[in-house]
Amino acid sequence: MAPSTTSAVILNINGEKHSLSVDHRTTLLDALRERLDLTGTKKGCDQGQCGACTVLIDGRRAVSCLQLAVAADGREITTIEGVAQGDTLHPVQQAFLDLDGFQCGYCTPGQICSALGVIAEHAAGWPSAATDDVRPEAGVPELSAEEIRERMSGNLCRCGAYVSIVQAVARAAKTEEGVA
Ligand code: FES
Ligand code: FES
């Protein structure tokens, strides 16, 4: 008998468990969009280069077009649909809205999920390629515009809304820290 090419998985998305049978080649992005109707996560390049499909897996950002659905089995996935609290937008969403951090909006779900990851990584003290002093004793670098540009560099915006996106991430980061 030929080996099965499908597996049963449980995808825990935005706090809700979804049981489904997936072909082993199915990406998480396609499972979200085509099987579960969670179309907020966008497909841009489908090869890991644009960031449009960014989601959070166990709190860390990941491009869902390069993640197999079977590898996401049992892990906690957050998509853009799970970012707001009911009718209350997350501070990152509100900042994008207030500061026009988008034009067509196609890249925006990925930008917002990535920004959530950036803010969490920064709060955890992670350095970036733009960090001058990466020694642990140097402490957490300030989340400057340069730091934000570097940390968000995996998310492309074909509308070129980068100036506003950087401002929105900076504002949201301050809100999250309780500074603003
Ligand atoms: S669609 Fe996944 S990185 Fe472009
Ligand atoms: S807002 Fe159009 S691609 Fe970014």
The answer, yes or no, to whether any atom of ligand 1 lies below 6 A from the CB of 62, is: no
Q: Is 145 in the pocket of ligand 1 (CB under 6 A)?
A: no
pLDDT exceeds cutoff 60 at 178: no
Residue 12 phi, psi dihedral angles, 5° rounding? -95, 95
Residue range 119-126: mean pLDDT, rounded:
94
* 6-81 topology per CATH: Ubiquitin-like (UB roll) (3.10.20)
Residue 21 has pLDDT above 90, yes or no: yes
Which stretches of the chain are DSSP H helices?
28-30, 91-98, 108-123, 145-151, 162-176
- Domain layout of the chain by residue ranges: 6-81, 91-176
Calculate the average pLDDT of the chain: 95
DSSP letter for 88, please: B
Distance between Cα 109 and ligand 2 center (Å)? 10
β-pair type (16-23, 6-13): antiparallel
- Residue 161 Cα to ligand 2 middle (Å): 7
Q: pLDDT at residue 14 above 80?
A: yes
Q: Which CATH architecture has domain 91-176?
A: Orthogonal Bundle (1.10)
**In angstroms, rounded to a whole number, what is the distance separating the alpha carbons of residues 95 and 99?**
6
Question: Is the model's pLDDT at 146 over the cut of 80?
Answer: yes
